[in-house]
């Protein structure tokens, strides 16, 4: 009996670990911080690199190899274009230009660093986030916003791509 319980538990463990390896969940995390002393919004996006590669290949018909030695300057430009089309902010009702600063690979995650300058006052922030929902219907994007020592979190999905924060 004891061997049977151990065998079942081992089987459950192996199946659960293999399901993580298959990456069956689709999630990205965004952090937006307001730095009033710099008059800037600082944005970090953490997206699974294989997911963004698939989405970009589907949209542009090219394999981009982000984060590998096969990556090209065109790959980065298409990434920037895709992010600009699918992730945007309005501050106080005004669309703001995002400055793509850099990116890096952290394990299997693409980390993008973005800034928005010349933000001296915030009454509202409108966030639009449809990154990857065109490729994965179950994609969920979590956006954490920290401003004025207040942290707010939002969940974006195929059915909810826009949120407005009021301060």
Mean pLDDT (the chain, rounded) = 89
Mean pLDDT of 136-157: 97
Cα 141 from Cα 134, distance rounded (Å): 13
- What pLDDT, in 10s, does the model give residues 26-48? 999 999 999 999 999 999 999 99
Cα 94 from Cα 97, distance rounded (Å): 10
Cα 8 from Cα 78, distance rounded (Å): 47
Cα 105 from Cα 21, distance rounded (Å): 18
Whole-model pTM: value is: 0.84
Residue 2 burial (CB < 10 Å; 0-12/13-18/19+)?
exposed
């Amino acid at each position: 009996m004891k061997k049977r319980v151990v065998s079942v538990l081992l089987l459950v463990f192996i199946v659960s670990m293999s399901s993580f390896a298959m990456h069956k969940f689709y999630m990205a995390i965004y952090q937006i911080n307001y730095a009033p002393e710099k008059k800037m919004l600082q944005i970090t996006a953490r997206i699974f690199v294989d997911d963004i590669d698939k989405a970009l290949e589907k949209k542009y018909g090219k394999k981009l190899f982000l984060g590998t030695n096969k990556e090209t300057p065109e790959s980065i430009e298409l990434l920037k274009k895709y992010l600009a089309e699918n992730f945007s902010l309005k501050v106080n009702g005004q669309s703001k230009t995002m400055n793509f600063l850099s990116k890096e690979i952290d394990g299997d995650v693409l980390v993008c660093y973005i800034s928005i300058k010349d933000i001296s006052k915030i009454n509202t922030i409108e966030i639009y986030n449809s990154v990857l929902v065109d490729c994965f219907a179950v994609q969920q994007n979590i956006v954490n916003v920290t401003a004025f020592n207040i942290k707010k979190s939002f969940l974006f999905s195929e059915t909810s791509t826009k949120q407005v924060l009021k301060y």
